[in-house]
A and B are shown apart, each in its own frame.
Chain A
Amino acid sequence: MAGSAPGDEPALFFPVSSDSEDDTPVPTSSKLTSTKPPTSSVEHSAGPSSYVSKNGAEASPLFFGSPEPETVPASTSYKSPPKRPALSRHTSSQRSKSVPSDFTGYLGEFVCEGWSLSKGKGYCVPGSKVVFERPKPKKIVEETSSVVEKIGPARLVNGKMVHSKAKSMAGKQVTLGSMGVGKKATVVPKKPPSKPIVDQIIRFRNDRGFEIGRLSVGEAGFLVHLLDTGVIELRGHVIDCPPVLSTGATILLNVKVYLTAKAFEQVDKDGREGVGTFWQEQKETEEEEAMRKRKDALGLLFGRIGVKAIQSNALLMAQKKNGSAVINEASLKHFAARASSGANTPSRRSQSPSKASSSGSGKGKTKDKGSARNSDDDEGEEDSGDEAERLDEEQMNEIDTIYRKAQMGDTKLEETDPPSTFLYTLRPYQKQALTWMRAREKGDESVREQSLHPLWEEYAFRTEHAAGEPITIVDDDDEIDPGRKFYWNPYSGELSLTFPTSKTHSKGGILADAMGMGKTCMMASLMHSNRVGDVPAESPAADPDGEPDAKRPKFKQVTLSNQWRAVATAPKTPSVAPRATLVVCPVSLAAQWHEELGKMGEKGSMTSMMWYGNERQDIDRILGQEGKKRVDVVITSYGTLASEFQKWRKIKDKPSYEGGSIYDHEFLRIVLDEAHNIKNRTALVSKACFELKGQRRWALTGTPIVNRLDDLYSLLHFLRLEPWGHYSFFRSFVTVPFLNHDPKALNVVQYILESCLLRREKTMRDKDGRLIVELPPKTLDVQVLDFSRPERQIYKRLEDRAKRRFIQLDAEGKAMSNYTSILAMLMKLRQCVDHPLLVLGKGANEEEEGDRLLDTANGDATGSIKEMIAMYAGGVDAKPPGESGTETAYALKVLKEIGESEDSSECFICASEIFDEVLLPCYHRGCQDCIVNFIGSCEDKGKPANCPICGQGPYKAMDLRSVQRRRKRLNPITGARAEDGDEGSVSLGKVDLVSSTKLRALVRKLETMRMEEGDFKALVFSQFTSFLDLIEPVLTKAGIQWLRFDGSMSQAQRAATIDEFGKKSKDPVILLISLKAGGVGLNLTMANHVFMMDTWWNEAIEQQAIDRVHRLGQNKSVYITRYIIKGTVEKRIMKIQRSKTALVNASLSGGAQRDKSATLADIKKIFGLDEEDSEDEVY
């Protein structure tokens, strides 16, 4: 953190004691001169004066750190208690040992050049000590410093010593540096990120206080930040210099570098547990910037001095027994390089959301400025970064590989039986999950072996022989005195004196079993198994340090966090162990959770309660109930949580706030179902989840990574898995390297997943080689259909116009700015594929552009599409109900014939049983589709459409009459053909042409199934509820029972619908579901047929939909039928679906602004503009 959080009030980090002795102005006194107040890094030997003392001027330096630094009480004083707790936040945790304030560790020395800024003799000779200084940033605590600034540095002018006033700039000798001091210091506010510029000058003076010169730019560059933040101290002496200095003369210096206590302390982000506001977005970005600078600077410094790691991650990793994830040093270096280059981006990205978000105080704003500065240079890359971040197919495959690797050991997990109160029988793999989950909750890492923290390197302080100060002499060969060791994380820039293990603070994890494997069930078994939490006083979150203690007894790890907790948390929470589990799930699943929890447990063993909606009860009361009414599980929805969060955030800091929010409760366990709901870390709902208090945290999701690695970050953040839950960290180690196609990134991901994620797939096998889940087979049938003629005409017209419009926009360069209207046009096309009538309906969205397509405005003489559709819809009705006299006679004749010739019910065109039977005026019969098609094709060829059988005609579609015979409804296979002579029930009607190809195909299929199977349950998915509207009456007409499930229904209605659908029925029941409302989570295993009426952008969504049926509990074969119309956008959508590219995501996120550019190409693809149209290739 050095500098980092700092931004805020650096003062917080200064030892209290130092305040008083701040800057003594230019001591002209002889001896040691710590002169400038301003430098935070004054020479160690400097006098007691300056505030440098904190660094050990007086206190004798502890070069090697006492093995057991006594820091306990001191540590609290380091920071003022969390008035603004968020500030204290930090990344990695373990090594949060506090260090005595007077600590310094000798790092090494290097030789460098300086330039003289003075003229004359007597400033220095080889061997004379020099003191380095930096302009001191103005700090509120140190008002006195302003005095110094006014006075300015002392210097010799022509042999006299002068205090030049910086502002007056007396004389030529006013150096740039000193000017800088005056100006900068005043500019620098207490929040460094808003500093417009930091000067890069490090001046040095002799031990009498006279300024000699400055370090060369190259050297100063990386030291500046470190000095300013007090991470290092420099001491030096002159090696060589001209006897008489002239301005610009070269002075050769030897510089010794010491790490100060600050270097180790500040990076302490403990105490977070007790602190609610801790996870605010803007914090991270601010911190990020500082950490990055520090990291870069330290890296350079180490390189400059030649400090080498004694032990680095490669070794650590190699020691791991199963060594599967060897991250070698080189690759990590590689990483680091990339990471730093990309580090700017995140800070910027995260800004806008955080700013917009509620908590955007003044802080957020300053930060904006700050980070804007450092992202100047990568401005242009920003967008491309966004695009690239998405995982392409290949990368997703790699992720799969990782999952697989991370799962390798899992088949060996023990099986644990759930307690008897849990009624379901778990499958073996579910029992294994229980073992794992219980272990995770206990914090027992041994169940799955843990890797050592891969990102740290071990270093040792050198012995400083010259100094003649107390030195512990250690044989460097083997065991280095642990006291001399320190650890550096070259990726985050953090330093530590304690051994960083990869142990996590979090209890819980990600249960990422594939869909339909019973995650709910496993979680329920866990709830039954582990019912009581820890008493908060010794809250589990506090003890992670316990284990390292055992391992490395030399380091007593009294942490700040312990201190905090005692103060901050304990008084608040009653010392009753939390018992309740909070389940957060999509609203559509709430009822299901409730119901299943009820079914799975012995009666009364586990009570759950749904908590959402407007009339939700007071959470305090619910959780306060004891005895029979006690509530073990509270089920709420993401939406409810988000609104609670918003409420709470507004009032929590007001003095009048009395608690009572869900955020004031500590839960035993928090479970996020369908946890990918929080994949966007800046979304309100995600924040709402992050802030929940719970001892154990679980994320359930079948897709921990949806389409970016950052998705995973959000989950880790929720789990509080250190250090990965820290954004800059995750970004630098995972996201950025991954974007750079550095395969090592995957090692890190794997490492992370190994530690906290359990994933099994349906295809996995247990140790005996059996499939862990045996699901009935699933058959996918893609029905490629052909438009009827009128449909194709309408579609073609629509498509042509859309294409033309797009080309026009594209040519004018306006395609991107008309992005939404292009999406609207595409929407029209997709609707048209389902049913031409949909095109006329208005969706919820703006569809002006889409509508414009329908008008003639484009100078298209052939009539508007609206008219065409009207014709289509009007079709037969348009014909006057003709000559009724003949009509009747005709009908009678035909009826008789049909009654007599019941056998020949095969269509002469399609050779199948006649579907939607129609009669030609010559009494010849066929399927409506076939005959209409035939007539159409004849018209196309300009041939008379004569009856194919008898040659009479020509006929038109309007001449057809549809035949309805009730008899056909009966089952011909079982022979239950009730031929009770009711041939009379044959009737003729007008031909209903107002249907669509897909709709007819669906009904046809359902009718066939009804004959073959009798009773069955089927789901019909469409993304357009308006299409569902059109399906309803057709089903009704066909006498098929249907139910409807869509987003407009209340939770109660949904539950009732599902309930109804689940009831036993002798007849087929169809559930019409909108893809968006019903695609997720629902358990609909009572059905075994799925019809996908249209194609959605993202295949995963469709997969989810199918998994409603093909999941645990399904014991019939599952049949999926997908309807696609030949030669339409659907084919191209499917192509894009496969390549999972940008548009998919853009559409998913509701046409997110920033995704636009890459989508252009996709849109072109959809319009078929980028390729020769390989229409017949597949469809």
Chain B
Amino acid sequence: MAALPKRILKETERLMSDAPPGISAAPNNDNLRHFDVTVAGPDQSPYEGGVFKLELFLPDEYPMNPPKVRFLTRIYHPNIDKLGRICLDILKDKWSPALQIRTVLLSIQALLGAPNPDDPLANDVAQNWKEDEKAAIAQAKEWTRLYANGE
């Protein structure tokens, strides 16, 4: 294992000592490029009260390439599929090395507060969202209660 670049060390340090509200991220002991992440559902969103687990991995090319992030907790969200994959531009072509783990996680948290069914990843969810937003939100809340209860 090559030595960890200073940037990753610094980011880790900052995440641990000064985590953004509602977000925690800690590196895996076996692989310091692998983070266990939790994100609290934003207030005023169907995910409020839920605690979502994610995993985040920094590839060798980081920060030239974006981190890889995935939800571990099931979530009912038009931009997150059942495998936990996330449709978010900064995780793909809009990535810039000026972004950081922290900003990525904040963006994800924001995504929970602002689902975008027009750029769906989970088509059935997006469909539902567009057709009957209320039902969809209820479903999201239900899933949050069921799965994102912090256990």
- In the complex the two chains form, what is the Cα distance from A1126 to B61 in whole Å? 14
CB-based contact A784/B2 at 8 Å: yes
- Contacts A937-B61, A949-B96 given: A911-B7 contact, CB under 8 Å? yes
* A648 CB–B CB distance under 8 Å: no
Which residues in window 767-801 of A have CB below 8 A to B? 783-784
Residue in A912, A937, A949, A1126 whose CB lies within 8 Å of B64: A937
* A933 CB–B CB distance under 8 Å: yes
* B11 CB–A CB distance under 8 Å: yes
* A908 CB–B CB distance under 8 Å: yes
CB-based contact B7/A1179 at 8 Å: no
CB-based contact A908/B97 at 8 Å: yes
Residue in B2, B63, B98 whose CB lies within 8 Å of A949: B98
CB-based contact B98/A908 at 8 Å: yes
Chain B residues within 8 Å of A912, by CB? 6-7, 10
A contact patch SS: loop
With an 8 Å Cβ cutoff, the count of chain B residues facing the other chain is 16
* A1014 CB–B CB distance under 8 Å: no
Q: How far is the CB of A153 from chain B (nearest CB, A)?
A: 86
Residue in A910, A934, A946, A948 whose CB lies within 8 Å of B7: A910
Q: How far is the CB of B14 from chain A (nearest CB, A)?
A: 9
- In the complex the two chains form, what is the Cα distance from A911 to B13 in whole Å? 12
- In the complex the two chains form, what is the Cα distance from A1176 to B98 in whole Å? 26
- For B7, the closest partner residue in chain A by CB is A911
- In the complex the two chains form, what is the Cα distance from A937 to B59 in whole Å? 14
Chain B residues within 8 Å of A948, by CB? 96-99
CB-based contact B10/A933 at 8 Å: no
Cβ contacts A942-953/B at 8 Å (1 or 0 each):
010010110100
* A909 CB–B CB distance under 8 Å: yes
- In the complex the two chains form, what is the Cα distance from A930 to B61 in whole Å? 12
Interface centre among B2, B6, B65, B96 (most CB of A within 10 A): B96
- Contacts A933-B64, A937-B64, A949-B96 given: A910-B2 contact, CB under 8 Å? no
CB-based contact A911/B64 at 8 Å: no
- In the complex the two chains form, what is the Cα distance from A946 to B98 in whole Å? 11
Chain B residues within 8 Å of A1179, by CB? 2
* B21 CB–A CB distance under 8 Å: no
- Contacts A948-B98, A949-B96 given: A909-B63 contact, CB under 8 Å? yes
- Contacts A933-B64, A934-B64, A937-B64 given: A911-B11 contact, CB under 8 Å? yes
CB-based contact B64/A910 at 8 Å: no
Which residues in window 58-97 of B have CB below 8 A to A? 61, 63-65, 93, 96-97
CB-based contact A911/B10 at 8 Å: yes
- For A938, the closest partner residue in chain B by CB is B64
Chain B residues within 8 Å of A911, by CB? 6-7, 10-11
Interface centre among B3, B64, B97, B99 (most CB of A within 10 A): B97
Chain B residues within 8 Å of A1126, by CB? 2
Chain A residues within 8 Å of B96, by CB? 946, 948-949, 951
Cβ contacts B91-113/A at 8 Å (1 or 0 each):
00100111100000000000000
Chain A residues within 8 Å of B61, by CB? 937
Cβ contacts A417-443/B at 8 Å (1 or 0 each):
000000000000000000000000000
- For B14, the closest partner residue in chain A by CB is A911
Cβ contacts A904-917/B at 8 Å (1 or 0 each):
00001111100000
CB-based contact A909/B3 at 8 Å: no
CB-based contact A784/B3 at 8 Å: yes
Residue in A910, A951, A1176 whose CB lies within 8 Å of B6: A910
Interface centre among B3, B6, B7, B93 (most CB of A within 10 A): B7
- For A909, the closest partner residue in chain B by CB is B97
Cβ contacts A921-958/B at 8 Å (1 or 0 each):
00000000010011001000001001011010000000
Q: How far is the CB of B139 from chain A (nearest CB, A)?
A: 37
- In the complex the two chains form, what is the Cα distance from A246 to B12 in whole Å? 105
Chain B residues within 8 Å of A937, by CB? 61, 64-65
- In the complex the two chains form, what is the Cα distance from A911 to B11 in whole Å? 8
- Contacts A933-B64, A937-B61 given: A909-B6 contact, CB under 8 Å? no
- In the complex the two chains form, what is the Cα distance from A951 to B5 in whole Å? 25
Chain A residues within 8 Å of B10, by CB? 911-912
CB-based contact B97/A934 at 8 Å: yes
Q: How far is the CB of B59 from chain A (nearest CB, A)?
A: 12
CB-based contact A909/B2 at 8 Å: no
- In the complex the two chains form, what is the Cα distance from A783 to B6 in whole Å? 12
Q: How far is the CB of A945 from chain B (nearest CB, A)?
A: 11
Cβ contacts B1-45/A at 8 Å (1 or 0 each):
011011100110000000000000000000000000000000000
Q: How far is the CB of A1018 from chain B (nearest CB, A)?
A: 21
Chain A residues within 8 Å of B64, by CB? 933-934, 937
- In the complex the two chains form, what is the Cα distance from A911 to B4 in whole Å? 13
Chain A residues within 8 Å of B7, by CB? 909-912
- In the complex the two chains form, what is the Cα distance from A699 to B147 in whole Å? 78
- In the complex the two chains form, what is the Cα distance from A912 to B61 in whole Å? 17
Chain A residues within 8 Å of B99, by CB? 948
Q: Which 10 A-B residue pairs are closest in the complex by CB-CB distance?
A: A948-B96, A911-B7, A948-B98, A937-B64, A911-B10, A949-B98, A908-B98, A909-B97, A948-B97, A910-B7
A912-B7, A937-B65 are known; give 4 further A-B pairs, CB within 8 A. A910-B6, A911-B10, A912-B10, A948-B96
